[in-house]
Amino acid sequence: MTEKKKVVVAMSGGVDSTLTARLLLDQGYDVYGATMYQFDGQDEEIEGARSMAEFIGIPFKVVDVREAYQKFVLSYFIDAYARGMTPNPCMMCDFKVKFGLFYDEVRRAFDAPYFATGHYARILYNPERQKYEVHKGIDLGKDQSYMMYHLTQDQLAHIIFPLGRTYKKDTRRISKEKGLPTYNKAESQDICFLTSESSYVEFLKNHAPEAFRPGNIVDKKGRVLGQHRGIPYYTIGQRKGLGIAARTPLYVTALRPDKNQVVVGDNDDLFRTRLLADELHFTDGEAPAEEFRCQAKIRYGIKVHDCTVTLERNGRAVVKFDEPQRAITTGQSVVFYDDDRLIGGGTIMRAL
């Protein structure tokens, strides 16, 4: 008999990660479970993951990543809002912590070559290109390939996404058929560290009160139309909560932290065809060319759109869309695709 392949599953105690572990067991893997201890007040989640590991009969480990989580996720989240950006803490957590420190630690601890999560994406090996590729999940409504553009070729060779070929609507049914008690468990919230605070605004007020300085709401010509309560209250494309009476609807079109201003305009002012991005990563390890055609999306959960990407010598890229995009937001990710295949991505610096 050949030795079973060892795999560590990142477990949260939820539907997806528990089913991931069960499916890999059924496929003959030697499965281990592990959970990240990210922040204080996480006891319920950790115990939920531990109990599910015990239920399906696999060894379990908790890895303390609080220091890294504070540095790479919480500090980033707070700093980004203070600088007028709209951060993506889940993306940063995946990049720096889950597929970074945690990935390395648990594979070493269990002497396991493979690492698995419950993400809805696919990893394929292309023998013609001799590259590992990330492809969209079969369930396009749940596809999470957008979050994976930081992954390297070495990581892709050791990561498994068992749910990539599963539709979300079937996940609970399969879990129930396999007798998993998580089949009817509620979905987790978007920003996991908002446990005691009811909103990200309250979290920021507790951790960065200096960011909430009142200032002017102005139009694109700089005329003062009203007062804002602090830049973190606002994001690009926002319409409600501006407190300004106007004949036509007004939207937030820009944030100027250097002047402590919120800029508003009409809906047409939100559309741009170009953006500037930095912090670029490509799953092949290099860009396809200095200029290439692809499809891209500027936030999670929307459709891709045709564009041209032009790389600059300073490590940045200009992305020009064939059609104007609404509410290009500083701090979010622009992610590139060739049909279903993920090419790479970067962080949006600003609309041009």
d(CA 101, CA 49) in angstroms, rounded, equals 19
d(CA 26, CA 326) in angstroms, rounded, equals 45
Is 10 labelled a binding residue? Answer: yes
CA-to-CA separations, 227 to 241, 242, 285, in angstroms, rounded: 11, 9, 47
Q: Give the per-residue pLDDT at 190.
A: 65
CB 232 within 8 A of CB 81: yes
Q: Give the per-residue pLDDT at 184.
A: 86
Neighbours of 286 (CB within 10 A): 8
Is 57 labelled a binding residue? Answer: no
Domain boundaries, given as residue ranges, for the chain: 6-119+161-184, 212-265, 271-351
Neighbours of 310 (CB within 10 A): 14
Please return the burial class of 15, using the count of CB atoms within 10 Å of its CB with bins 0-12, 13-18 and 19+. Answer: buried
d(CA 276, CA 294) in angstroms, rounded, equals 16
**Beta strands at 30-37 and 60-64: parallel, antiparallel or unpaired:** parallel
CB 98 within 8 A of CB 151: no
> Coil, strand or helix: which one is 198?
coil
Is 118 labelled a binding residue? Answer: yes
Is 15 labelled a binding residue? Answer: yes
Q: Is 310 left (phi over 0), alpha (psi -120 to 50) or beta?
A: beta
CA-to-CA separations, 272 to 250, 266, 299, in angstroms, rounded: 17, 13, 15
Q: Give the per-residue pLDDT at 3.
A: 60
**Beta strands at 305-311 and 333-338: parallel, antiparallel or unpaired:** unpaired
Q: Give the per-residue pLDDT at 189.
A: 63
Tens digit of pLDDT at every position of the chain (352 positions): 346 799 999 999 999 999 999 999 999 999 999 999 999 888 999 999 999 999 999 999 999 999 999 999 999 999 998 888 999 999 999 999 999 999 999 999 999 999 999 999 999 999 999 999 999 999 999 999 999 999 999 999 999 999 999 999 999 999 999 999 998 887 776 677 776 556 888 888 888 888 899 999 999 999 999 999 999 999 999 999 899 988 899 999 999 999 999 999 999 999 999 999 999 999 999 999 999 999 999 998 889 999 999 999 899 999 999 999 999 999 999 999 999 999 999 999 999 9
Residues 90, 93, 294, 307: which is the catalytic one? 93
**Beta strands at 305-311 and 291-297: parallel, antiparallel or unpaired:** antiparallel
Q: Is 318 left (phi over 0), alpha (psi -120 to 50) or beta?
A: beta
Residue count of the chain, please give it.
352
User: Is there a catalytic annotation at residue 90?
Assistant: no
Q: Give the per-residue pLDDT at 196.
A: 54
271-351: what fold?
Elongation Factor Tu (Ef-tu); domain 3 (2.40.30)
Q: Give the per-residue pLDDT at 199.
A: 80
**Helix or strand run (H / E) with residue 32:** strand 30-37
Q: Give the per-residue pLDDT at 51.
A: 97
Identify the CATH number of the domain defined by range 6-119+161-184: 3.40.50.620
Backbone CA torsion sign across 231, 237, 242, 245 = positive
Q: Give the per-residue pLDDT at 2.
A: 47
CA-to-CA separations, 74 to 95, 140, 151, in angstroms, rounded: 14, 30, 21
Is 11 labelled a binding residue? Answer: yes
Beta-carbon contacts of residue 222 (< 8 Å; ≥ 6 apart):
none
Residues 90, 192, 294, 307: which is the catalytic one? 192
Does domain 212-265 fall under CATH 2.30.30.280? My reply is: yes
